[in-house]
Amino acid sequence: MRVMLHARLDTRLGNEAIENGTMPQAMQALMERLKPEAAYFSPSEGKRSCTFVFDMQDSSQIPAIVEPLFTALGADVEIVPVMNMDDLRKGLAAL
């Protein structure tokens, strides 16, 4: 299922990750794990944030995906199912 993960990083922990050089590795590890079709990095609600759209095969993947964000970066994380236009057309055709 295509999902969107949006994470807002804790400012203090994000600052520490930038200062000690672990932020690039954390983002690279997440990119390698998710293999997203899209990835964006931006400010959100006054904090550093990242948004990834990727295919999640099973909900049992959630802990492995979000725990590093929680523990290393103190992130607030949201995962929601999303559709592209082809998915929407298919869904609407089934009505």
Mean pLDDT of 72-84: 97
Q: How far apart are CA 33 and CA 69, in angstroms?
A: 13
25-64 pLDDT, tens digit per residue, is: 999 999 999 999 999 999 999 999 999 999 999 999 999 9
Q: How far apart are CA 93 and CA 95, in angstroms?
A: 6
Q: Which amino acid type is present at position 44?
A: S
Mean pLDDT of 14-30: 96
Residue % of the chain over a pLDDT of 90: 100
Helices then strands, counting H and E runs in the chain, come out as 4, 4
pTM above 0.75, yes or no: yes
Mean pLDDT of 65-84: 96
